[in-house]
């Protein structure tokens, strides 16, 4: 999912993505270490994950953070079966692009 989200955001223009290999790891529910993200030039940060949910479904969640202020801008979660998961990364990337206004 992360590759699809990154591709969608890149294709929208106006974004420079920091490579996923950047040696800063964040847990989806943790407050990020914003000083480390500022040091690599990030303006915004997306954290997220996919975890099993009841009834054979999956919980897909993400959070969009403003790195400069440390504010949580958007948080969303989706509960989907595998057959319903295809549009989720596109919904996430659209929410990110829309909220950042680029």
For all residues of the chain together, what is the average pLDDT? Answer: 88
Residue range of the domain that includes 53: 2-15+27-100
For 46-61, the pLDDT digits (tens) are: 988 999 999 999 999 9
Q: What is the CATH number of the domain that holds 43?
A: 3.40.50.10070
Q: Is residue 20 part of a domain?
A: no
Tokens of 79: 């509960």
pLDDT at 50: 92
- Does residue 90 form part of some domain? yes
User: Secondary structure of the chain: what % helix, strand, coil (to 5)?
Assistant: 35, 30, 35
Is the pLDDT reported for residue 39 higher than 80? yes
Q: Give percent above pLDDT 90 in the chain.
A: 58
Count: domains in the chain? 1
Average the pLDDT over 11-22 and give the result: 76
Alpha helix (H) ranges present in the chain?
2-12, 34-39, 88-100
Q: Which residues contact 91 (CB under 8 A, 6 or more apart)?
A: 78
Statement: residue 101 has pLDDT above 90 = no
Q: What single DSSP character describes residue 54?
A: G
């Amino acid at each position: 999912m992360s590759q699809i989200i990154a591709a969608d955001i890149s294709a929208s223009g106006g974004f420079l993505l920091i490579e996923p290999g950047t040696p800063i790891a964040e847990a989806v529910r943790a407050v990020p270490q914003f000083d480390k993200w500022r040091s690599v030039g990030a303006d915004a940060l997306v954290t997220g994950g996919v975890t099993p949910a009841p009834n054979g479904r999956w919980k897909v969640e993400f959070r969009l953070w403003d790195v400069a202020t440390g504010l949580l801008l958007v948080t969303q979660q989706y509960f989907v079966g595998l057959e319903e998961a295809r549009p989720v990364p596109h919904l996430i990337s659209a929410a990110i692009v829309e909220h950042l206004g680029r």
